[in-house]
Every structure is written in C-alpha cells, then in structure tokens.
Structure 1
Amino acid sequence: MCAVAFSCKPVSQITIEILEPAEVTIPSYIQAVSFANRSYIPWLAKDPSDTARRSVKDLFVIDTLISNKLFLGLIEALSASPLFDLNNPPIYQLRRSDSVRFPDLLTVDQAGVICDTSQTDCLISLEGYELIDTVFYNYLFYSDDNYEVTYLLAGTVQWRIYDGIYGTVVDDFMINDSISWIMTCDILKECMDELPEAADAYREYSYQLGFKFGQRLTPEWYTARRFFYRTGNREMIKAAKMVDEGNWNEAVNLWKSISESEKDIIAARASFNIALHYEMEDRLIPAIDWATKSYDRYKEDYTKQYLEILEQRKLNKLKLQQQLPLEEIH
C-alpha cells in the first residue's frame, strides 16, 4: 500500500491504494476456466424484437461482433486477477435455435461433461443477450444548432458460472446497461455522418459489458482520500514535519506520547493519526483500536465516520482472504 501526501494546515491530505474484494467469491479450488456461448441465434429466432429491419447477413455480422467482444472484455478483465488460469481457455459454441432470450440452467451433468472434456474446474457461460439500437431526432428551436441526434444502444446480458466439481451455480447475473452518442449540428445529414457505424457501436458496447462482468469476479484497487492532523501543539507540528520527511515511524512514536496528553482534543488528534498509520500498513485491528481511542477522547464526527470505514475494510479484508492468496492482499 502506498500513500501520497499533500501538505496543508491544520491537516494534510493523503491518498492510499486499497484493494476492494470482488462482488462474487469464487471457491478457492476453482482455477482453470472454460467458457460457453449459449445465446440463441438471432436470425433463426421466431419473433425477435431486436432483429427487425436487418438482413440475415447483417444479423450474422452483428451477432459475431457481440459474441466476440463480450468474451474479449470478460477474459481481459479476468486476466488481471491471479484467481484464474486463462492459458488459451476454450470457448464452446452451444448456440440455440429457439427464441428464448434467457434459457434454463444447464443440468449438473451437462456442465460436468463440458468441464471434464476441457479439464477445467468451472464453466462461465454467456446464456443470452438482448440488445436494441435506436436513433432519436430532436429539432432544437432555441439553439444555433438545429438538430440533435442520439444513437442509443441498450440491452441485457445474462452470465452464469457453473461449478464443474460440485455441480452448483456460483453466480447467475444479468447486466442491464446502455450507451449513447449525441450529435448536434445545423444539417441533419451531418449529425448522422458523425454517429458511429452500428458495427463499431456494438463492438464498444459489447466489450464494456463483458469487461464489467469480469470486474464483478475480480478484486480491484482504488484510490481513497485520507488526512492527518498537523497542529494542536508544538509536538504535533514536529511530528507532521517528520511525516513530510517520510519518517512515519518516528512520527508515530511521538504521536503515541502525545496521545497521553491531558488535553482531549490533542490526544484525540494524535490517536487519529496513529490509526491512519496502521491503516496504511493494512493493520486494521490496531487502526480500529486507535480510532476508537480517538473518538473516546473527543467525539469528532469524522472520527466516527472513519471508524465505520475501518470496520467495513476489516470485513472486506476477510472476504479478500477467501478470494486471494495472502501475499496478493498486501
């Protein structure tokens, strides 16, 4: 974990990098992954609302783009995680000729056969999708630009994760999302010319949907803002200068001495700073202890909020320990 400080009085802001657990906890025995595409074939469906006005050739091209980019986005997101073995993962084409958007679950035997054949531990399946593109036109009466044209892509994609070892469904998730491009201009044709081609729009949209599902399965780093107190007495100012010079350990020793001060607000500030130091080291239990001492000495609203943040981080760390090897968490 790293921190960057920005000096300002009476506090200094810092940023720290925190690892957020994945939304879905994949069992630790799952490493090798296979993929399947179970979505229905749009040009064979009986009455698909999203295939109106498109030829079989166009549908074939768009369906191919959607499928390829969904899996590309998913696999690239998962590649950032140490959880999965993604060395040339197989993608099985189990396409359906019915008109059911989102099918029933695979049976335990069906999922097991695929995992046994591919020698993988689980199957991540694209179960189905429904994507619709629409163009909206608006005439602008009170603008120098006369026209506003919006190209909207919206839809739903369903993914399931089948445990090939125990025959359970690890995750069953539907993503609902949309993306739009808006152009304004004097001449309607100019707006239309500036909009992306349908193929390019579907490429971008499908990749994003696949990537988002991959993020659901992958722990992710994010940047959080924190601050520490610089003032209160001369010793607090001295400790802050130590931090400016990168001597956090020396500052902590001084803050521990200051935390015994008879002045509650100064003792609370020193204890708060110590809590921050321990959080930066990912030692959340002592961080909570010192934040609690701070709040007990002086009831500061932010300290209460900080305690809630630390408690949530402690729960997240427990979840991370189920998702990652210990050496990956720090």
Structure 2
Amino acid sequence: MEPSPVDLPHQIRKIGIVNSSKSSFVKSYDTRLEQLIALEERWLAEKGTEAALTGLFDELAQDERFDTVRILDHLQDQPTDFGTRPSHETWKKIAAICSENGVDAIFSLASHETETHFSLKKTKLDQMDMMRDRTRVSAQEITLETLIENGWRIYDPQQRILVDEFTSNEQIVASAKGVSSVDALQAIDQRRETLIAQSKSSGSSYAQRMQPRKLEIQRDYYVVGTKNFELAHGKIQEGEFQEAVALLEEEIAHPKPRISSRACYNLAVLSEYNGNLSAAMNWATKSYDLYEEDVTLDYITTLEQRQAQSDVLKAQLAYIGFEDF
C-alpha cells in the first residue's frame, strides 16, 4: 500500500469546492462547420465544469475523514482564482470564504479547458435513393480530437499553504460520415455523453489522490546457485513461504560469499512480501555486506524509500481511521 500523493493536514475536516476556471472561446469562424464546433465547445465547457465538480464532490462525500463537503456555487460570480502563490491579502480572502461558509479548506477547479481539432477526408457512403435502392455516394468523414484539461488546487488558509496542485489531461476521439461535413458532424453519436463522463471521472480521480492506494509490484529473486535455491523457488511458486525460508536459511553459512549473499537477498524479498520491511532491510544489508552487488544496493535504496513511505502511510491511515495496514 502506497501513501496518497496528497498529504492533507489532519485538521481539515470540512471541504469547500469552488469553480475558479475561466474558458476562452473563438469569436469568429471561417465556416459553418467551425461555428458549430465552437458552439459545441461552449456547451461542453459549461457542462464539463459542472461534471468535474460533481465528480469531485461525490468522491469526497464518501470519504469518512470529512464531516462536510460543499460546492460553493454561490461564489460563481466572484473572483476565486487565488493563484499558486497567494499574497497576504489573498490568504485573508481565502480564510474569510472558509469562515463564512463553515469550511476548513478550499478545493479549487483552477482550470477547465476543452480544445477540439477536426480533420476531414473524402469517403463513400451507402444511401437510399428515391426508389429505396441502396447507392454509394460521395461523402465526408470528420474526425474530432478533443483534449480535456482540468487543473486542481487545494488551499489551507490556517497554515497558508497550497497543499496540492495537479493537472489531468484526457483525449477523446470521435468520427462519423455524412454527405456533407456538417452532416458528418451531426452524425457523431454519444460524443457529449462521453466527454461529460470523462470530465466527471477527472473530478473523481482527483479526489482519489487523497486516498492511499494498493499497488502490485514485482521483485526478482535468485532461483539457481544450489539445490536449495531451486527447491526454495518451487516452494515460493506453491505459496509455501515458510518452507522456502527454511531452505534459504541453510545457505546463509555457505562457504561461497556470493551464494550466502544471494540467500540473504532472497530472504529480504520474502520478508518484504510478508510486510516486514525492517527484516527485509536487515537481510538486504547483510546480503550486501557479504558480497557487494549493484542490484543489492539498488534494492536497499528501494527498501529505504518504502520505509519512509510507510511512516507517512501509517499517519494517513490513522487519520482515515485505520490503525494497521
């Protein structure tokens, strides 16, 4: 289990969510097609922002750490772009907003941008004529590539720190055919629904950055060297870890330092697998003392990083309400 990327201060129990994003739009168009795409972008900017905020709200509302989660939509017409380095006066404003709305911190949708590029190519399309016969006619195929970018920030007015800043990018591609380019555009199915769902997912994913997460990692270990290494490998594959440990421990006193070192290395991996990072570090250090190999030194560095993360993780889990992991 890895600690969450965002280490929230424990005193933050009440969350206020604001929309600080401002979208820019093209004001002139060369063709009818460009005008229709621009109008679609306006709709998506409005609905996509709402979806992103809803996704964040829904996810945070399920987090038992927080007593209150509110979307402060009544601030929509007020300037809430606090920037990345708020001034003394800006921090006072953030603190005032928190006080007036009974929250401890501000989660801000700092930016929400949708940018669409389109391409056209000639193609053929089956169409029914007046006699209801199927004929093949010249047509246009349009492809829309839409980039959705959401920027998030968390402000803690009590400590006057920007707790986190994060930007996510997602690309959605859609295409369709039509007799004209406008017909092709109008023939695209489910694009709005897909883009709104993606925006909501962005908000949900950002909220999940507050949570520790489980990851699957891989470790290499030595499977040859002596008969016991081979037997231990078979036991590991069968899930009989204690038997594997017993076989490897027999090789610790092997007269060849390289063999005894690698036995210790394998014992370190097994200790880490069983969640005992302290024992893993002891075995890895002993392995390097017996026989210096770069792979062992790299593993010791990895274990040191995991131990540091473990301390952060324990504090986060205690905040969430779990004593052990």
TM-score band (shorter)? 0.7 to 0.9
Q: Secondary structure at the match of 1:228?
A: coil
Residue 205 of structure 1: how far off its partner (Å): 3.3
Is 1:34 the counterpart of 2:12? The answer is no
Q: Secondary structure at the match of 1:239?
A: helix
2:306 corresponding residue in structure 1: 313
Percentage of matched positions with identical amino acids: 24
1:10 corresponding residue in structure 2: none
Is 1:85 the counterpart of 2:77? The answer is no
Q: 1:181 to 1:27 in 2, by over 3 A?
A: same
Q: Residue 90 of structure 2 aligns to which amino acid in structure 1? A: T
Contact 1:50 1:132 in 2 (8 A): no
Q: 1:160 to 1:312 in 2, by over 3 A?
A: same
2:131 corresponding residue in structure 1: none
Is 1:282 the counterpart of 2:275? The answer is yes
TM value normalised by structure 1: 0.72
Q: 1:287 to 1:193 in 2, by over 3 A?
A: farther
Q: 1:108 to 1:230 in 2, by over 3 A?
A: same
Q: Distance in 2 between matches of 1:167 and 1:228?
A: 47
Contact 2:26 2:38 in 1 (8 A): no
Contact 1:35 1:125 in 2 (8 A): yes
Is 1:175 the counterpart of 2:151? The answer is no
Q: Distance in 2 between matches of 1:188 and 1:272?
A: 67
Q: Distance in 1 between matches of 2:266 and 2:140?
A: 56
Q: Displaced runs of 4+ in structure 1, greater than 6 A?
A: 54-60, 184-191
Q: Secondary structure at the match of 1:226?
A: coil
Query: Quick one: which of 123, 128, 134 aligns to 2:106?
Result: 123
Higher relative contact order (CA 8 A, sep 6+): 1
> Which sections of structure 1, spanning at least 5 residues, go unmatched?
1-18, 43-47, 141-145
* Offset from partner CA, 1:112-135 (integer Å, 9 cap, x none): 333334433212122332322232
1:269 corresponding residue in structure 2: 262
Query: Quick one: which of 30, 47, 70 aligns to 1:65?
Result: 47
Contact 2:41 2:114 in 1 (8 A): no
Q: Distance in 2 between matches of 1:55 and 1:196?
A: 14
- Which runs of structure 2 are paired with 1:234-313 in the superposition (5 Å)? 234-313=227-306
Q: Secondary structure at the match of 1:85?
A: coil
Query: Quick one: which of 96, 116, 140 aligns to 2:77?
Result: 96
* Offset from partner CA, 1:262-305 (integer Å, 9 cap, x none): 12232122111210122123322321221232233344443333
Query: Quick one: which of 20, 25, 42 aligns to 1:49?
Result: 25
* Offset from partner CA, 1:56-76 (integer Å, 9 cap, x none): 996774344212221233245
Query: Quick one: which of 101, 126, 135 aligns to 2:118?
Result: 135
> Which sections of structure 2, spanning at least 5 residues, go unmatched?
29-34, 124-138
Residue 206 of structure 1: how far off its partner (Å): 1.4
Residue 312 of structure 1: how far off its partner (Å): 2.1
1:25 corresponding residue in structure 2: 7
1:107 corresponding residue in structure 2: 90
Q: 1:227 to 1:188 in 2, by over 3 A?
A: farther
Residue 23 of structure 1: how far off its partner (Å): 2.3
Contact 2:177 2:187 in 1 (8 A): no
Contact 1:181 1:195 in 2 (8 A): no
Number of corresponding residues: 296
Contact 2:60 2:66 in 1 (8 A): no
| Structure having the higher Rg | 2
Contact 2:3 2:211 in 1 (8 A): yes
Q: CA RMSD in A?
A: 3.8
- Which runs of structure 2 are paired with 1:187-198 in the superposition (5 Å)? 192=185, 195-198=188-191
Contact 1:160 1:169 in 2 (8 A): yes
Q: Secondary structure at the match of 1:261?
A: coil
Q: 1:51 to 1:67 in 2, by over 3 A?
A: farther
